[in-house]
Structure 1
């Protein structure tokens, strides 16, 4: 009923500019048998880690919580294990020019913020990171802004309900449970004595 709270993140970035990275590359299908998130960070991009210079899992990427990704990140199947693995691997935000819709929704439900920026801003971020490997990028969810040295302050859009849940550190169920007393009072006003609804309200109030 809770997700990692996200208000403002300041971090170095890991750059992975492959386009059309699908969820089977993020977390191969053989890892989908698990029913919890424990250990999935080790499976993140498991089949790509042998590539020379692959950045994820490399010592120089330790402690970086933002992934600067290529276009159409998270396409392919709808597996929720993909954002699970990214969060378990230490990432809290991904910056790209576009995301697959289902991946975006799954990411937001798991405390991972997908930030869409225009191609020109993306190019400036890549150039700034190349010139300064230790570049610090700020993802400010409250202000809905991306900030970094050498890059213009860039607003981004996040679904309003998902943003509220992330700022509060709750999932959808946790958000609703906050309003149980209000829901019960509302139903009590609607329920007539002797009806099924009245019996349900009485049981919930007990």
Structure 2
């Protein structure tokens, strides 16, 4: 089974949309690899451009954000850009419905948590690593500065869990059919 988790990067913002995740001008690319350097290049945080070459993003396997993550158009390219950059978990208070399903279809874990739990994650000081136990539907966030880990439970239906565990829809279909 695929391992989910790793170093996390935090985006303290609501409504991060698919145009910010991967700009529309790259939708003509025919490989996922071509999307890799353009992940989040149009993201604005506090009115300032985010640097997509930032080491925190280059080393991250987990993204933590606020609500309505992945809103905008329904294109799958936004999820592919995370996939090709080794992001295997996105945690948010809520997701755009189609974006969330595209994540599961590509074998990326979407964890939806209540605002209180999201606030606990954002309150952790230092660099954060997140480990996910799919069998328990539980995630644990730890800081390089020590302190008590933050443990959160999440809900996930069995079909989406099977999709993600298999590595996405194609891998799931190969296993089942």
**Does the pair score TM above 0.5?**
yes
Match of 1:14 in 2: 9
Greater alpha carbon shift after TM alignment, 104-113 vs 57-66? 57-66
Deviations 1:133-169 (A, max 9, x none): x222112222211112445422112232121132233
- Counterpart CA distance in 1 for 2:51 and 2:41 is 12
Task: Give the TM-score, by structure 1 length.
Answer: 0.73
Match of 2:154 in 1: 156
If each structure's strand is expressed as a fraction of its own residues, which one has the higher value? 2
> Which of 157, 166, 172 in structure 1 is aligned with 2:169?
172
1:177 shift after superposition: 4.3
> Which of 94, 97, 104 in structure 1 is aligned with 2:93?
97
The size of the alignment, in residue pairs, is 171
Deviations 1:159-187 (A, max 9, x none): 32121132233x4344344455xxxxxxx
Greater alpha carbon shift after TM alignment, 54-63 vs 111-120? 54-63
- Counterpart CA distance in 2 for 1:101 and 1:42 is 26
1:76 and 2:72 aligned = yes
Task: Give the TM-score, by structure 2 length.
Answer: 0.84
> Rg larger in 1 or in 2?
1
Match of 2:145 in 1: none
If each structure's helix is expressed as a fraction of its own residues, which one has the higher value? 1
- CA RMSD of the aligned region, Å? 2.3
Where 2:59 maps in the other structure, the secondary structure is coil
> Which of 139, 149, 152 in structure 2 is aligned with 1:146?
139
- Counterpart CA distance in 1 for 2:174 and 2:16 is 36
* Structure 1 pair 78–158 and aligned structure 2 pair: CA distance change class (3 A): same
Question: Any conservation in 2 of the 1:108–1:114 contact (CA below 8 Å)?
Answer: yes
Question: Any conservation in 2 of the 1:14–1:56 contact (CA below 8 Å)?
Answer: no
- Counterpart CA distance in 2 for 1:99 and 1:61 is 20
- Counterpart CA distance in 1 for 2:29 and 2:6 is 30
Where 1:126 maps in the other structure, the secondary structure is helix
